[in-house]
């Protein structure tokens, strides 16, 4: 079987319900998955939840659950519901508590151990039982050896942990990154890995990959007193989903792209490739680190009460508008701020007044003058700028989507929308309509064809981001719903890349006004 395009999101901690930051990386991955499907590729899109570890165990206790399992089972449906509302077309929702994942984690551990990269070492230090954490002697509060965090007395503790010999991979990682410039993206993140982590003397240390003080985790093979460290466990989700080690996992592995937030870059760009190398497996092809979103310039936090709930914003603005806004507003890979006035502004300026206006003006004129299109009849004087804008959109859009520069792709679409609205103003079809001679009517039909064709290109390009809106818009241009792209954006005929060519709107097309794609919104009611 041919290799499928394999895209992943981080698997999210289930210590709380999802917020807009989780939605952001998931929407980015969904748009890429839909884009690839729309171009005719077979795609496997993985997301899920990271359920083990101290943080989750603690949250379960605090929230009064009898077991961590009962707690995580109560949170997972919230993630699934958010992804339903946002139309996320994942192929698998993996949970690290899934049986196949536990088996993969154990098997992978054994292979790394057999290869000599796992070692049991004594670890001695000052331990705060309350916090379940070691502290350095120099940080203790004196007199009395008190915990620097909670002020309780710490105790001298000796813990035997398993260590992964990450240091053995430092030079190989450096060479690998140098030879694979696309591995870590965008460029700024790659520099971070090469510059900060791999260049620094102590930037790479052996990692403790087991915990003996924790019960909520996957047991270490051969030593059930310990559980596997939550990151060692979590990263392996990407391999579990491929069916590894069973024959056929290479239909998916290596992953084409792991989309992650910048704060977990080190785990994905250093620890993960080293783990894979230790087990004799290939590194992922690409790790893309997104930036961090803040709400109106402020970090989101429960105590500030400004955490954005993606379901709430979807209910208020429409889930497709939220998808559009997040990817349009913040360059994928950089930090950015979102706000209600921001989403409102983009909606009005770009969707309602931009594309919506273009399509409704074109359709109204077509209906009024009963225009039936002939096939594309070649360029006329006055078309130059519009045709150049269409060519440029096609080129910039495709390149940008390939490199996950969604903001650039959407800017290219907006440039074409602006060029098309300007074209309407300049060619003034309402004036052309007054000339009832056959030639006058032909010119009118030509101009309206150009308007509709520009609209078609924009809708096709928007389809991975706003699938339902694009489908509705294409229906106004005469394409029956579901005939261009399927529900998961799979190509029904020619792929999206081919459909961006100018002049494909067929002869016989009659535009219909229908209901507006983007009704004007009232000012937001708080
Ligand atoms: N469970 C780990 C990941 C394991 S992957 C093998 C984890 N989970 S998390 O719940 O904390 O989610 C992290 C991811 O959520 C980030 O990497 C990022 O993609 C996304 N975001 C969470 N908050 C965010 C913002 N405020 N802004 C943008 N994205 C952020 O780490």
| Together in a domain, 344 and 256 | no
| Residue after which a domain boundary falls, among 321, 356, 376 | 321
266 lies in the same domain as 381? no
- Reported confidence tier of residue 525, pLDDT bands at 50, 70, 90: very low
**Phi/psi-derived region of residue 491, left when phi > 0, alpha when psi is between -120 and 50, beta in every other case:** beta
pLDDT grade, residue 522 (50/70/90)? low
CA–centroid distance, residue 83 to ligand 1 (Å): 15
* pLDDT greater at residue 136 or residue 226: 226
CATH number at residue 420: 1.10.730.10
Examine residue 236 and state whether it is found in any structural domain, yes or no: yes
Q: Which two tokens stand for residue 391?
A: 């060519």
Q: Is the pLDDT of residue 480 over 70?
A: yes
Decide whether any atom of ligand 1 lies within 6 Å of the 238 Cβ: no
Q: What integer pLDDT is reported at residue 134 of this predicted model?
A: 67
Comparing C-alpha atoms, which of 134, 120, 128 is closest to residue 208?
120
Q: How many domains does the chain have?
A: 2
| CATH number reported for the structural domain that contains residue 102 in this entry | 3.40.50.620
pLDDT tens readout for residues 316-350: 999 999 999 999 999 999 999 999 999 999 999 99
Q: How far is the CA of 493 from the centre of ligand 1 (A)?
A: 36
Whether the CB of 235 sits within 6 Å of ligand 1: yes
- Whether the CB-CB separation of 20 and 311 falls below 8 Å is answered with no
Q: Give the model's pLDDT for residue 199.
A: 82
Same-domain status, 416 and 494: yes
Alpha helices in 260-383, H assignment, sequence order: 265-266, 272-278, 310-317, 319-329, 340-346, 357-368
Domain containing 436 equals: 340-524
Task: Evaluate: CB of 260 within 6 angstroms of ligand 1.
Answer: yes
pLDDT higher than 90, residue 442: yes
Is residue 201 domain-shared with residue 234, that is, in the same domain?
A: yes
- The reply to whether 238 and 265 lie within a common domain is yes
User: Where does the pLDDT of residue 406 fall: very low under 50, low under 70, confident under 90, or very high at 90 and above?
Assistant: very high
Instruction: Among 19, 75, 261, 338, name the best residue to mutate to test ligand 1's pocket (greatest count of ligand atoms within 8 A of Cβ).
Output: 261
Phi, psi dihedral angles at 212 (to 5 degrees): -100, -10
Mean pLDDT of 34-45: 98
Domain boundary pick from 253, 287, 321 = 321
Nearest of 357, 362, 381, 358 to residue 373 by alpha carbon? 362
Residues 284-309: tens digit of each pLDDT: 999 999 999 999 999 998 888 999 99
Distance CA 15, CA 25 (A): 18
From the CB of 430, is ligand 1 less than 6 Å away? Answer: no
Q: Average pLDDT of 185-214?
A: 86
């Amino acid at each position: 079987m041919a290799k499928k395009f394999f895209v992943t999101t981080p698997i999210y901690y289930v210590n709380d319900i999802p917020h807009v930051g989780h939605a952001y990386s998931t929407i980015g991955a969904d748009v890429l998955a839909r884009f690839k499907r729309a171009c005719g590729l077979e795609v496997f899109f993985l997301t899920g939840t990271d359920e083990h570890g101290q943080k989750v165990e603690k949250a379960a206790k605090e929230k009064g659950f009898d077991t961590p399992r009962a707690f995580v089972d109560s949170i997972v449906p919230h993630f699934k519901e958010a992804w339903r509302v946002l139309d996320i077309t994942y192929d698998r929702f993996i949970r690290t508590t899934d049986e196949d994942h536990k088996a993969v984690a154990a098997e992978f551990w054994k292979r790394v151990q057999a290869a000599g990269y796992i070692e049991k070492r004594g670890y001695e230090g000052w331990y705060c039982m309350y916090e379940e954490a070691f502290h350095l002697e120099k940080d203790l509060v004196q007199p009395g050896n008190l915990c620097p965090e909670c002020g309780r007395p710490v105790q001298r503790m000796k813990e035997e942990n398993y260590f992964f010999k990450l240091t053995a991979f430092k030079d190989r990682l450096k060479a690998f990154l140098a030879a694979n410039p696309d591995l870590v993206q965008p460029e700024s993140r790659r520099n971070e890995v090469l510059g900060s982590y791999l260049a620094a003397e102590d930037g790479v240390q052996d990692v403790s990959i087991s915990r003996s003080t924790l019960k909520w985790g996957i047991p270490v093979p051969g030593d059930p007193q310990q559980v596997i460290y939550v990151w060692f466990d979590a990263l392996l989700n990407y391999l579990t989903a491929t069916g590894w080690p069973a024959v056929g996992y290479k239909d998916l592995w290596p992953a084409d792209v792991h989309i992650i937030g910048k704060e977990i870059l080190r785990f994905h760009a250093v620890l993960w490739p080293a783990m894979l190398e230790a087990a004799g497996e290939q590194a992922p092809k690409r790790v893309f680190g997104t930036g961090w979103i803040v709400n109106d310039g402020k970090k989101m936090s429960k105590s500030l009460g400004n955490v954005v709930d993606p379901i709430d914003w979807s209910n208020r603005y429409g889930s497709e508008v939220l998808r559009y806004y997040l990817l349009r507003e913040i360059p994928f890979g950089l930090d950015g701020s979102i706000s209600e006035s921001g989403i409102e502004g983009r909606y009005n300026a770009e969707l309602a007044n931009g594309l919506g206006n273009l399509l409704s003006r074109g359709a109204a004129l077509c209906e009024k003058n009963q225009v039936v299109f002939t096939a594309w009849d070649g360029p006329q004087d006055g078309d130059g700028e519009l045709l150049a804008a269409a060519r440029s959109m096609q080129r910039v859009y495709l390149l940008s989507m390939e490199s996950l520069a969604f903001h650039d792709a959407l800017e290219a679409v907006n440039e074409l929308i602006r060029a098309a609205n300007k074209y309407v103003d300049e060619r003034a079809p309402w004036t052309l309509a007054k000339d009832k001679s056959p030639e006058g009517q032909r010119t009118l039909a030509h101009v309206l064809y150009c308007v509709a064709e520009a609209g078609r290109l924009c809708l096709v390009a928007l389809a991975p981001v706003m699938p339902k809106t694009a489908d509705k818009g294409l229906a106004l241009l005469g394409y029956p719903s579901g005939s261009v792209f399927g529900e998961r954006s799979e190509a029904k005929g020619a792929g999206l890349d081919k459909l961006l060519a100018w002049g494909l709107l067929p002869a016989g097309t009659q535009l219909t006004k229908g209901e507006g794609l983007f009704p004007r919104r009232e000012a937001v009611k708080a």
